[in-house]
Amino acid sequence: MRLSLLALPFAAALVKAVHHRDIPYKIKESIQGPPRGWHRNGPAPPDHRIELKIALPQPHSPILEKHLWEVSNPKHERYGAYLSKEETEELMAPHPETLDVVSEWLSSYGIEEEHLYRSSAQDWVTIRVPVALAEEMLDTKYHIYTHSDSGESIVRTTSYSLPEGLHEHVELIQPTTMFTRLKSFKSTLHWSNTVSSGSLSPSTGTLTGPAGNPIDASCNGTITITCLKELYNAVGYNTSATNGNKIAVTGYLEQYANNMDLQQFFQLENPMADGSNYTFVSVNGGLNNQSYAAAGVEANLDTQFAFGLTYPTPPTFYSTGGSPPYIPDALTPTDSNEPYVNWLDYVSSQEYLPQTISTSYGDDEQTVPYNYATRVCLGFAALGARGISILFSSGDGGVGDGDANPATQQCFSNDGTNKTIFIPEFPAACPYVTSVGGTNYIPETAVFFSGGGFSNYFPRPDYQNTAVSKYLQSLAPGTYEGLYNPNGRGIPDVAAQAWNFLIVYQGQTGYVAGTSCASPTFASFVSMLNDARISAGKPPLGFLNPWLYEAGYAGLNDITVGNNPGCGTEGFNATIGWDPVTGFGTPNFEKLLSLAMAA
């Protein structure tokens, strides 16, 4: 989906807006300064066009959350009675007065209906305006900010204001104070033509898996589809192509899944799937570039393993477009937000969706403004209320900032105090998604980069109280005091293998690692569970966490060895029960299937 917004008559709009200078303005949002690593350069060019997304308050969101808890709780009589698209939109819709007030405000600047785009629930309004007009509307000044490590530049401000009477009708406007650097989660291994060293056993013969079944010993050095089915006890389970179950993965940052690579992968790892394809969905102008040069390691990994593991379940790949970083000496057309809102807007407007969706992208929680993070998180809650299982990789920085190299991690708060803290990842920290950490080797241990910890934004949800409290009580008094929020939502929830996945990239086989591997893997086994439930006439599992923490954890392999270092510490340790390294552990499909069918 690409927005078709008409260009505003710039000069006329400014003339019309002059009278607003006399209206009392009040600061809506401000930050101390740009996050660590960002440096302010000159002012943004006044004619540079910026895409502003305006979030309107959702007065019925508490009712939406109530529905989510009820339909996701295996003990509740409404378990599995999911809401429809129309029902969720009704609960996400702004008050009619808000629509009128905001429309009047926009109209006073010459921005009429034909110049804007409204989301399906009308809770987001999108406009494209020159920087000069945005500055007039928001009583602010935009500047160019450059990141010292990557060199990328963006157009942002550290404070913006609105007329006082508008505050109750506008929840937030972005991009303004948001300095996210959305990235796919992969360790520093990234891509290698040879397997990484460190296997714990010979590569010939067999090993005994956690379910007592034999596993080819080569799986200790190379992870394939066969290895995962053996390790996670799903050999012999066959999914349906026709019962209505579907699986999807998301792609961002111009990551394109290459179809020739996919077929070569199928021939190598799942010959039954050779010749099959997936449904491609473009979101916000996302492309489907099939040149070898454009193939993305992340997109190839996600599609090859998720679609190879679940074949013949019908698969979907969402390609979400987004403007590149602003280049000061190039004619970059538009600055936009990180892409989750665009993706959420699209999928929320669709009547039918895949029941299981995996995403391997995220950012440091503290770089996402709190009100923006909570708003996006509520969008995931709405999908859960519709019966969709949303899974995110937990990150590759251990307890650090997403950099898998502990020596280069930057573990400082960005609130102006620059104190050392652990850095959780978002959206993995959202309590309405299932966060997936990483393991390696057989027997499985926590992989060193497995993202984990505790959210500084979201309080611990009720479903985590027992498990997380037990873990915290097991820590020695004073452990990492002040470095993490013991009352925050704990991540991850579960885990899966995340090391030495054999994929095909640009016609060559090679190895990748990261929780990018773990999320589509765990999602594939969730999709198999949904397949079985749907074939038996049951609803899909939907938002997984209440079920996982109530009963599903008994179908997971508890990981008790390993830790996730970062920020100059050893990080947290994997231990008996839930831990902030591997959650409750990795799937034992036969046990999970029995538990899922009983729910």
- List all residues 6 or more positions away from 54 whose beta carbon is below 8 Å from its beta carbon: 102, 124, 125, 126, 127, 170, 172, 173
Q: What DSSP string runs through 110-158? A: T--GGGEEE-TTS-EEEEEEEHHHHHHHHT---EEEEETTT--EEEE-S
End-to-end CA distance of the chain: 37
Question: Looking at 184, 358, 450, 516, which residue is catalytic?
Answer: 516
Provide the 10 A C-beta neighbour count for residue 246. Answer: 22
Measured CA angle at 411 (ends 409, 414), to 5 deg: 130
pLDDT at 10: 43
pLDDT at 72: 98
In whole angstroms, give the CA distance from residue 588 to residue 553.
10
Q: What is the pLDDT of residues 480-496, one digit of tens each?
A: 999 999 999 999 999 99
DSSP lists the bridge partners of residue 279 as: 316
Evaluated on CA atoms 547, 552, 558, 559, the torsion sign reads negative
pLDDT at 201: 47
pLDDT at 32: 87
pLDDT at 272: 97
Which amino acid appears at position 272 of this protein? M
Task: Report the b/e string of 309-335 with b at 16+ CB within 10 A.
Answer: bbbebbbbbbbbbbbebbeeeeebebb
In whole angstroms, give the CA distance from residue 447 to residue 37.
28
Binding residues: 558-559, 577, 579
Which amino acid appears at position 250 of this protein? T
pLDDT at 263: 98
Comparing CA positions, the residue from 146, 425, 460, 392 lying closest to residue 250 is 392
Largest pairwise CA distance in the chain: 80
The CATH architecture to which 185-325+352-598 belongs is 3-Layer(aba) Sandwich (3.40)
Orientation angle between helical segments 131-138 and 10-17, nearest 10 degrees: 10
Give pTM, 2 decimals.
0.93
Q: How many helices (H) and strands (E) does the chain have?
A: 14, 29
pLDDT at 152: 82
334, 50 Cβ separation under 8 angstroms:
yes
In whole angstroms, give the CA distance from residue 319 to residue 492.
26
DSSP lists the bridge partners of residue 230 as: none
Report H helices in 311-429. Answer: 340-348, 370-385
In whole angstroms, give the CA distance from residue 27 to residue 20.
15
114 backbone dihedrals φ, ψ, rounded to 5°: -70, -10
pLDDT at 77: 97
Which position has the token pair 């969101």?
61
In whole angstroms, give the CA distance from residue 105 to residue 460.
38
Residue 72 in tokens: 């996701």
Beta strand 247-251 pairing with 556-557: unpaired
Question: Looking at 123, 230, 269, 302, which residue is catalytic?
Answer: 302
| 323 flagged as catalytic | no
pLDDT at 18: 43
Provide the 10 A C-beta neighbour count for residue 79. Answer: 17
| 216 flagged as catalytic | no
- List all residues 6 or more positions away from 245 whose beta carbon is below 8 Å from its beta carbon: 239, 313, 314, 355, 527, 530, 531, 534, 535, 540
CA 276 from chain center: how many Å?
A: 27
In whole angstroms, give the CA distance from residue 36 to residue 60.
37
pLDDT at 325: 57
Residue 285 region, left (φ>0) first, then alpha (ψ -120 to 50), else beta? left
In whole angstroms, give the CA distance from residue 184 to residue 387.
26
CATH 3.40.50.200 domain range(s) in the chain: 185-325+352-598
Task: Convert 27-73 into a string of H (helix), E (strand) and C (coil).
Answer: EEEECCCCCCCEEEEEECCCCCEEEEEEECCCCCHHHHHHHHHHHHC
494, 525 Cβ separation under 8 angstroms:
no
In whole angstroms, give the CA distance from residue 370 to residue 506.
39
Binding residues for Ca(2+): 558-559, 577, 579
pLDDT at 232: 98
Q: What DSSP string runs through 201-229? A: S-SSSEEE-TTS-EEEGGGGT-B-HHHHH
pLDDT at 401: 81
| 345 flagged as catalytic | no
Which portions of the chain are predicted below pLDDT 70? 1-22, 185-203, 323-338, 402-407
